[in-house]
Homo-oligomer: A and B are copies of this chain.
Amino acid sequence: MAIGQRYTEILDAAGEVFARRGYHVATTREIARAARLSLAGLYHYVGDKDELLFLVLARALDTLLQSLDQALAAARTPEARLLALIRTHLECGFTHGAALRVINRDWELLAPPRRGEVAAKRRAYIERGVRVLADVDPRGRSGDELYSAINLLLGMLNGITAGPFVRSAGDARVLAEQVGGLFLHGFLQPSAEPHDAALALFGGTHDA
């Protein structure tokens, strides 16, 4: 492949616009302008608005999966692997927040043939999560239970990255520890770490 540089620029622009405005509010004209291209020029590179969304989603999921595998390989203990998963997810949510937001909100808008492909990548990602959870699980939970648990965890993480929180990548590390601690030991855990100001870093779900 080794796709042209112009091509990736267009995908970057499209991803940014999709994330900021949502698939249906974003117009092809707006995307073309963001890519510094005329409308017809955009259609020279891409056949369809749907294809544009697909490319953005596929690329984002690929880098997310790649980052995850890299982080998992570097971690030693099962617990560290879980922390790595959480941190990677948050980091991707902060740095490429644009793309991740599109993934969670707009991927169902894809036309069926391409949606299946994106769904497969999503499943692969969740599959990784299940294996990580299985390793830290003290009691032998069933696959379905682990599947549910990882969905709960991802729900928490997406709740963080979806809202207008802090977006510094530096926060991801300390934030991951907090979230991981809560997930592993629960809200009732007496007092895990003394650096408790971190959870206060991100706020709530506000409006404009």
- A residues with a Cβ closer than 8 A to B are 22, 24-25, 105, 108-109, 112, 115-116, 118-119, 122-123, 126, 133, 136-139, 141-142, 144-145, 147-149, 151-160, 163, 179, 182-191, 196, 199-200, 202-208
Contact = CB atoms under 8 A, between A and B. Distances in A.
B119 A206 contact: yes
A187 B129 CA distance: 14
A176 to B, nearest CB: 13
A190 B152 contact: no
A199 B188 CA distance: 21
Complex copy number for this chain: 2
A150 to B, nearest CB: 8
Contact of A196 (B108, B118, B145, B202): B145
Contacts of A208: 112, 115
B24 A187 contact: no
A187 B195 CA distance: 22
B187 A184 contact: yes
Contacts of A182: 149, 152, 186
B126 A205 contact: yes
A152 B141 CA distance: 23
B116 A207 contact: yes
17 contacts: A25-B109, A136-B188, A137-B187, A138-B190, A141-B196, A145-B199, A148-B199, A148-B203, A151-B163, A152-B156, A152-B159, A154-B159, A155-B155, A184-B186, A184-B187, A185-B185, A185-B186
